[in-house]
Every structure is written in structure tokens, then in C-alpha cells.
Amino acid sequence: MKQLLTVAALLIATLSWANEPLLQNTYSRKSITLNGRWHYIVDVYETGYYNYRHQPHDQTENPGSSAYFLNKKAANKSARVEYDFDAAPTLLVPGDWNSQKENLFYYEGTLWYKKSFDLPDYDVAKRYYLHFGAVNYYADIYVNGKKLGSHKGGFTPFNFEMTKLVKAKDNFVIVKVDNKRAADEVPTLSTDWWNYGGITRDVSIFELSATFIQDYTLQLDKENDKLLKGAVQLNGTAKANSSVAISIPELRISKTFTTDANGVVEFEIPVKKLQKWSDKNPKLYDVALSVTGDELSDKIGFRHIETQGSDILLNGEKVFLKGISIHEENVMRGGRAYSMEDAKILLGWAKELGCNFVRLAHYPHNVNMARLADEMGMLVWEEIPVYWTIEWTNEATYKKAETQITEVVSRDKNRASVIVWSMANETPQSEERLTFLTRLATYTREIDNTRLITAALEDHGKEGDKNTMIVEDKFAKVVDILSFNQYYGWYGGKIDNIKNLRWDIDIDKPVIISEFGAGALQGYHADSLTVWSEEHQELLYKETLPTLAKIPQLSGITPWILVDFRSPRRMHDMYQNGWNRKGLISETGNKKKAFYTLQKFYKEID
């Protein structure tokens, strides 16, 4: 029963920075889109949020006309209102402001968005929810001049009910977005990717019944491949003692269950001839769930993922994870990626490379990536941005990390492709950090014990024997998979010495090399020892791949990285120009020589 308790815990998990439980499977729900052009106002001094005494307008009894969320209009020629959204310029949503407006390229601060909308089929008996795929980083949400709530976290979804605030016509939503970096946030001040600000993913309105399916999960039992286990959570006044129907036509399953007083039902369904989902056979089943007044459909794959000693087992069979790391950028359009078309480009390149595995670094990517990976048979590592210099002793910072893992687990728990939750990347060791990460891993296992836990750690040379590499990290005892980044030949060490390296790993767990690589400017050619040339990157791959293959516990690699991506840390005018150049593909979509080196290595593994 432990799995069912875990499922129930996730369904009713309380989030620190979102006032409403997440709607499950917004991807398949009928919605009114608010994507498109939104008016915006840049607010460097946050004049629209604070009054002249630096008091928040939305926390005062009578906010003045300078409170932007009121969307005030001058009543006559003598009235003074010092802003006008409808006369302001526009930005495309979803999208970041940095790549859309040249003067906002480096902007970090507050920007207000405004969108007007109607509800053509407005029904007073319905409930209306406003859903955001992601806003980076801190969002205050207002509808028709009233605050719905706030959310922190730039890469995870959130929603608020707005039923009591909306009407059939002439509604407006205003969003205050603040992407300023801060030491106590997740991520913190220093990262190696671009801090894209804005409403970066879809915005949707959902019209729901008085009682509806809030959340659900359905998975293959960890111990029994003849049994499906799951749970459903209803929301509404009639959620108690309600009948929930679950149908999987291809498996000839049609069952009805009754919810408890909290609107939750946990269930088990025996199955006979089930095709398991795998990277070689990404079988998905049509699943339908219904309750009076609400229906949902999904495509779900069923599989087992576990470790046995130093092996990763997919459906009981050893699997080698031929991977690549990916950042969420669109190389053709520029800026933050957000659409299914973006996902098809990135995962299509990974498939061409020969991958069966992708590491989505260093934050939760768009839901399209996991959805498409389900269809393509691509195994997925998902991660939250606990990156480098987090404030380990700050309880509020921990809660932000916990909220982000809750939100991404809640969103993607029914995706068969997702097999790994990563807690962190390249974090400096200390007892405080160990406590933070162990607590986070324990919590993640409590809300989802069906996937594997890891973190991207670091290796270093052994004292007195620099050709022997070791991983000395107490958190290695906590994770299911020992993953570490290694950059010998790029950040220290001679490239011609790579062949002499060995890794001394005394832990009986699978090993994933979560990063290695070298920077190369696509189109720049020289001899193989010239840094920044395609030939140099190619040589590092040729030397590193066979050396890593000698690690006895090696179960996968995710080299850094599929495509060049923007980073304000990479400012060499000739070779970088604001781009991290470790990609196997350039920002213009051209493949570098090392792409084919890795592709050949993966083909030979088959």
C-alpha cells in the first residue's frame, strides 16, 4: 500500500508559493487560449506596485490610480492617470522579453503584462481557472483589478480559480513579472544560462464543472506487472462519494470507483496482456476518466524502472542510456523554447544523434518535451535549478526547491518517459548542503517512489595519482544513480592524457557521466590542438568516449550539450559572443564535427 499512500500524498501536496492545487493534464483539456499579443509596461522602479511610501498597492485599503493592476482610465480630460496599457507596445506570449525587444535584451527587473478577454460561453454554473505554463520568475496575478495570487519559480506551472471575478465580456488579466536574481532564490544569483524574463509558456483559461477531476495518476505497480495502481482527486462540492469511471479500451478495462470524503479514490486494476512502454517500443494506451460533468483523456505508457547493483533495468532488462544534455532554447527563432514544434526540433536532433535518453538541464522544461518523449521512446532526466551556490541553511530557499520539485512531479508523474528526478547540479560540498539535498531527495521519494533519484555531482583527481579520478561526495550514498560531470581536457588536464585516466568508484550503483565536452565555434577549423576549433572538440570526444566506456559501472552518458545556448558568462568576442559553445550543433542549426563522432559511438553500442 506504500505506493498508494505516495500517490495520495502527491495529489494533495500543499505548495508554498501557489494558492491552488495544480490541474492535471491541462494539455488535453479544452481551453480558451490567452496566447498572443499582450500589452506591456517596463517598471524599473516598480512604481505600479509600490506607492511613494514603498507600500504595496495591493496590500493597502484604497490603492491609488498609480496601481497598474487596476488598469485605470482617465474619466475625463481633467483626470490624471500616469500609465495606459492599451497605448503601450506589445509582446508575444508565450515568449521571453529579452529576445523580442532589443532594448530589453539584458533587462532584469519588473515588467507588467495586460490582456483583455471575453468568455463567449460564460455560464454562472461553471468554474473558471487561469493557468500559466511558466512565468520567470516571480509573478503576481490580477483579474479585473483583484489579486488572484502569486507564484515563485520560473519553470513550473501554476493556476488560480477566478470564478467569482469574471463575467461574459470585458475582462482583463494583468501580470506583474519580476525576473531579478537573488541569493535566496532557486536558481540563485549565478547561473550559466540566460535569465529569460516573461510569460514564457502558454496561458489558458479552463471552464470546468462545479465538481471536476483535479488530479490523477495511473502507473504499473512496482512489484507486479499484472497490476495497475492509481488514484483520482476530485475538486468541488460533490467530490465526496462520487463515482469515477476509468476506461482503457485496448485492455478491455472499464471500471467505476467511489471517492472518499476528501474526494480521493485509490484503486487497483488487474491486467493480463499488457505491452510495456520502452525506448524501443513506446507503447501508449488511451485512458479515459470521467465523473458527472467532467471527462479527461490521456495517453499513458506503463513500464518499470529500477536499479540492480550497477545496472539500470527498464522492464527488467539492462539499458544503456545513450544521452545528451539539452537547454530549453529555440535555435532558429532565438530565445526560450515553448512550443511542440520547438520540442520536435530538439528531440528530433537527439534521435538523429542516436540517443534514447535526454537530460533536460538545468530546470523543468516545457511539458511538450515529456509528452513528445513518450511518443518517441526517449527516456528523460528532469531537474530543478538547485545550481551552484544555493543558500543551504535558508528554510525559505529549501521550500522554494521543494515547491518546484512538487510542481514538476505533479505535472509529469504520468509520463512513462520520465525516469529520473535530479536534485541538483555541481553544488559545493558541505554538511548543510548534504542536509538540504538529502531532505529534498527524501521528500521526492515520498511523493513519487516509482522513479530514480540522482544529482549531477563532480569528480576530481586522487591525491598523489592525478590519473585516477574519484567522486568523494556523501550525497552519493543517497542517490539511486551516481552521476557526475567531468571536464578533463577542457577545464584542466591535457587532452592527450585522457586515454590514461581511470575512475576509481567503490560504490555499487549505476554511473552516468552527466556532462563532458569542449567549446567550439561552428565553422572555425584548425589543427586538433587549437582551442575553439571544431577539430579540438572532435578530438576531445574521440579521446573521452572510449576512456569513459572502461568504467565498469557505466550505464549512460549525457555529454554537454546538444546545441549552443546563450550565457552572459561567455563573453569572448571572437569565439563566444554571449554563447556557451559546447554544443554539438550551433545556434544556427549547423552540426559540428563532434556530432558525428558521438553519433558513431552510439551506433557502435547497438
The answer to whether residues 519 and 547 touch, using CB atoms and an 8 Å cutoff, is no
Q: Would you state the pLDDT for residue 19?
A: 59
Confidence of residue 14 (pLDDT cuts 50, 70, 90): very low
**DSSP designation for 591:** B
At 3 the pLDDT is 42
Instruction: Name 41's bridge partners.
Output: 112
Three-state secondary structure readout of 90-135: EEEECCCCCCCCHHHCCCCCEEEEEEEECCCCCCCCCEEEEEECCE
Which amino acid is present at 209?
Answer: S
Domain boundaries, the chain: 26-208, 210-306, 320-519+535-564+584-605
Q: What is the pLDDT of residue 4?
A: 40
Buried b / exposed e over 186-215, threshold 16 CB at 10 Å, is bbbeebbbbbbbbbbbbbbbbbbbbbbbbb
| pLDDT at residue 333 in the model | 84
Instruction: Tell which CATH architecture fits domain 210-306.
Output: Sandwich (2.60)
User: What is the mean pLDDT of the segment spanning 315-320?
Assistant: 97
Model confidence band, residue 9 (pLDDT cutoffs 50, 70, 90): low
pLDDT of residue 64: 78
Least confident of 33-37, 55-59, 495-499: 55-59
* Beta strands per DSSP E along 486-552: 502-503, 511-515
Judged against a pLDDT cut of 80, whether residue 109 lies above it is answered with yes
pTM attached to this predicted model: 0.95
Look at 135-144, 324-333, 394-403 and tell me which has the smallest mean pLDDT. Answer: 324-333
Q: 320-519+535-564+584-605 — its CATH code?
A: 3.20.20.80
Per-residue confidence band for 11, with pLDDT thresholds at 50, 70 and 90: low
Superfamily for 26-208? Galactose-binding domain-like (2.60.120.260)
Predicted local confidence at residue 305, as pLDDT: 98
Per-residue pLDDT reduced to its tens digit, 411-452: 999 999 999 999 999 999 999 999 999 999 999 999 999 999
The 10s digit of each residue's pLDDT in 514-563 is 999 999 999 999 999 999 999 999 999 999 999 999 999 999 999 999 99
Alpha-carbon torsion, ordered 328, 334, 340, 343, to 10 deg: -40
pLDDT in tens, 217-258: 999 999 999 999 999 999 999 999 999 999 999 999 999 999
Confidence grade of residue 462 (pLDDT, cut at 50, 70, 90)? very high
Q: Which residue, among 540, 585, 543, 533, has the nearest Cα to 564 in the 3D structure?
A: 585
Place 63 in a pLDDT band, splitting at 50, 70 and 90.
confident
Residue 24 has pLDDT above 60, yes or no: yes
As a whole number, mean pLDDT of residues 277-287 equals 98
In the predicted structure, residue 185 carries a pLDDT above the cut 50 = yes
Span 332-383, pLDDT tens digits:
788 999 999 999 999 999 999 999 999 999 999 999 999 999 999 999 999 9
Split at pLDDT 50, 70, 90, the class of 2 is very low
